[in-house]
Structure 1
Amino acid sequence: MKLIARLHANHKLIASGMVTVGALVLAAKVIGAAKEVAVAWRYGVSGVVDAYLLALAITTWLPVILSSVSLVVFVPRLAGLEGQEREKYISQLNGLYLALAVFSTILTYFAGPPIAGWIAGGLDAKTIALARSAVMWLSPTAGFIMVTGYLALRLQSRRKFAYTFFEATPSALILLFVLLLASTAAIEPLLWGTVAGFGLQMLILMSLTQKADKSLAGITLPDFRSPAWQAAGAALGVMLINQLLSGLSTPIDRFSAASMGDNVISTLGYADRIIALATSLGATVVARATLPVFSIGVINKKYEDIARQARIWSFIMFLLGIFASLIIWNASNIIVKLLFERGAFHAQDTDRVSSVLRVACLYLPFYFSSIVLVQWFSARRRLKNVLLMTSVGILAKIGTIIILYDIGIYAIAASSVSYYAFSFLIGGFLAFRRSPNVKAMVSGQ
């Protein structure tokens, strides 16, 4: 108890945020897991799932990148704004993100189908046609995700984490449509559930933001003259490059999987979904709990204190990642069997997915720890460090796939391990080269 009492207040703030976000993420992921069970039961490892996952990756690529950039760039700035200055800044952000939402929807509708046809070139002709059509159906989700990501960063800047639970809304709607239309093996239930789910999530977050900020504020075009815009200018450029590089990870995986033959995309997708349960419970929790705290500490010029706390939490998350990897490695077959093995998903599918899962889970310690380092670098506006981490990671990923291509799908899983391991090594070197003494690290003082 004395040790807890001696902890820095920011450690307690981060821990309480992690508990809150963790509970919400866990609840959301339970719904997500139920959706995955239903999809596996209905579709198994098939061309329909290949087409859907490919179309979803293309549709979400741009808005997810822009949302990630927004989170890192604007949360630290919104955390320090109040009153009329905040309201004016938000009204300009409203105009900017409304324009981005419209642009991303139109771009996805027209450019998505040919991109899907190109990436899926090695698949069955029916799967290629299905993927092209699915991108057009899913194009509204690009705009919904763009707006939802923006509303989420506004809520996070206020340390309002309830929106985390509603990330399960798309999964809930997909689950509902798949169950209600269980008599068909067509792709439509997946598409309808996805569009309806992301649309409903956007409306819910609009309501939450209205309450958190007392107003959604007006809509004006950015003038880029306020100090907050000027401070964000350089950061936007660096982080946009960073997220474009980082965002290449999923297309690289999908393109590589498509070149390896039918059903590789869906096999990889099932393994990725299980890993996503762990990454969301770890990375999402710690990122959303730490970034506002680190940002406020930087605003108050508590640089050394926050740096020390970032190192401590990075070490803690590395240990938690090792623990999560050990559990998944040893229980992979059981996990996959419990979640997916029913209906169209057979025992041989379980064996293949679980073997891929064992390789993929090895990146968790590096991933969890790197997330803390990225939040610290973002709060300090040392975004070139983040860009360096990503650049080295993506090069390691591509190199791993090229070197190990002959082992098939396992090369893709191993490439994710390389990506996060090399990113962690670079980030750790930059963050730990001035290590505090052990006593200070324990007490957080």
Structure 2
Amino acid sequence: MIQLPKWLQARLDRLGSDHKQLARGLLLVGFFVLVGKFAGAAKEMAVAWRYGVSETVDAYLFVFNLVQWPIAIVAGVIGAVLVPLAARLRQEAPQDTPGFRSELLGGTLLVGLCLGIGAWLFLPWLVQQPWVGLNPGQADLAGQMATWLAWVLPLAIIARLLAAWTMAANRHLNTLLEGAPALAILVAVLLMGGTEPLIWGTLAGFAIQVLLLFLPLALRGEAEAPVFVFRSRHWRPFFAGFGLMLVGQGLMSLVDIIDQFFAARLGTGALSTLGYSTRVLSLILGLGTIAIGRAALPVLSRTHAEGRAGIERTAIQWAGLLFGIGILIMTIGFWLSPVIVELLFERGRFTGDDTERVMGLLRYAVLQVPFYFASIILSYALLSQQRYREIMMLATVSVVVKLVLASVLVPFLGLAGLLLATAGVYFVSGMLMVWVLRRQ
């Protein structure tokens, strides 16, 4: 067996248990994220080959991002409130967990179906409105897609609930299975033409994800049948944070929606160009950000539930480390952006001119990486302590900063101004979170 140097072994031995669990979780989740991101990259390559920068991709991304908005809100609230609550349940009342789980599944099913029906009725009308900014061709395609993509809502929300239960138990299979929708879209795009692969691949992918998340939970006896009568005494602490987090998550998710409406007014291809650059950025960010959040929240929540101190210091120390890692990734991403975009996308209907446009945007996009990395661990420190009021206030500030910066920068810089505005949001929110944690 290989022996570590004595000085390194001594340093590792001095690490606290929270640091060790965080590091172990980061490595495991990071591996799963890497696998999922490979699936996502393959899907993006296939979409670029089949559709290029076109009205089809503009319409799909516009509708899909609108559908993702309520999903991000509900899923973010469920994860943020449920994981700390589950840690407390295991500590204080483990016998109540099955009943609360079945009621929560029933409630989530009802919410998902209501949102799906609402989107099915409302979205096809919305995307046709002139004030949205889509041209007639984009609007017609978006209306056709919206009728079907509305049903992603119930599937994705159930998947997020099952993922939160998995993560609450400090297991990370949910991260690996997030690649299922991308794989389904990849297969559909390779086998079929037209808009149907994007629609049916998306729906099939989320259905497969729900099934693959449910089966392991059922085998461990952690997936009860849904119940639609809500009597558990744990609804009160759940809803104590739900309202504030719903407002906060809704405000934070507006940052991405703001991008869609600003970009829709910049002409045909603007949404696709922005979409390709942010997809590459998500491949860069995902390995770090998902790993950070999903490794950190269960550990920090358990620390808080057990009444141990030091969460603030641990989070700020990790934020500094992750900021440094983000600087390194930002530098590499800036210099390699032409190679990354050409390697991923330049084939089929995606031309060299498209590569130039996406590469230029990507260089602005990577500026947010260090600020985002640091802010993730800081936000999960606040969530683990159930400090929902502070999170809501920070979300409000973030939306205001985004609107102000986008309004100032977009007229001069176009799409690049949107990406610089997002970097500004993460910088301001990160500084405010450090201040809030230091006060504690």
User: Out of 270, 276, 279, which is 1:270 matched to?
Assistant: 276
**Does 2:24 correspond to 1:16?**
yes
Do 2:48 and 2:350's aligned partners in 1 also have CA atoms closer than 8 Å?
Answer: yes
Alpha carbons of 1:79 and 1:375: their partners in 2 closer, same or farther (altered >3 Å)? same
Q: Offset of 1:124 from its aligned partner?
A: 2.5
Do 2:59 and 2:138's aligned partners in 1 also have CA atoms closer than 8 Å?
Answer: yes
**Does 2:247 correspond to 1:241?**
yes
1:221 aligned partner: 228
2:70 aligned partner: 62
2:6 aligned partner: none
TM-score w.r.t. the length of structure 2 is 0.94
Q: Offset of 1:385 from its aligned partner?
A: 1.9
User: Out of 332, 338, 350, which is 2:343 matched to?
Assistant: 338
User: Out of 389, 398, 404, which is 1:393 matched to?
Assistant: 398
Distance 1:231 1:388 in 2: 20
Runs of 4+ in 1 over 6 A off after TM superposition: none
**Does 2:314 correspond to 1:318?**
no
Report which stretch shifted further, 156-165 or 405-414.
405-414
2:3 aligned partner: none
Q: Secondary structure at the match of 1:5?
A: helix
1:89 aligned partner: 100
Q: Offset of 1:249 from its aligned partner?
A: 1.5
1:442 aligned partner: none
Q: Offset of 1:126 from its aligned partner?
A: 1.4
Alpha carbons of 1:135 and 1:98: their partners in 2 closer, same or farther (altered >3 Å)? same
Q: Secondary structure at the match of 1:79?
A: helix
2:387 aligned partner: 382
Q: Offset of 1:85 from its aligned partner?
A: 0.7
User: Out of 179, 203, 214, which is 2:211 matched to?
Assistant: 203
Distance 1:414 1:323 in 2: 18
Q: Secondary structure at the match of 1:327?
A: helix
1:369 aligned partner: 374
**Does 2:284 correspond to 1:285?**
no
Q: Secondary structure at the match of 2:350?
A: coil
* Matched letter for residue 210 of structure 1: A
Do 2:133 and 2:261's aligned partners in 1 also have CA atoms closer than 8 Å?
Answer: no
* Matched letter for residue 142 of structure 2: A
Distance 2:130 2:102 in 1: 39
Map residues 159-178 of structure 1 onto 2, 5 A cutoff. Answer: 159-178=170-189
Distance 1:36 1:144 in 2: 22
Q: Percent identity?
A: 33
Distance 2:286 2:300 in 1: 20
- Cα RMSD of the aligned pairs, angstroms, is 1.4
User: Out of 127, 136, 139, which is 2:150 matched to?
Assistant: 139
Q: Where does the alignment leave 5 or more consecutive residues of structure 2 unmatched?
A: 1-8
1:437 aligned partner: none
Alpha carbons of 1:202 and 1:274: their partners in 2 closer, same or farther (altered >3 Å)? same
CA displacement 1:317-351 (0-9 Å, x = unmatched) = 11111111111111111110111011111111111
Do 1:122 and 1:259's aligned partners in 2 also have CA atoms closer than 8 Å?
Answer: yes
TM-score w.r.t. the length of structure 1 is 0.93
Alpha carbons of 1:161 and 1:49: their partners in 2 closer, same or farther (altered >3 Å)? same
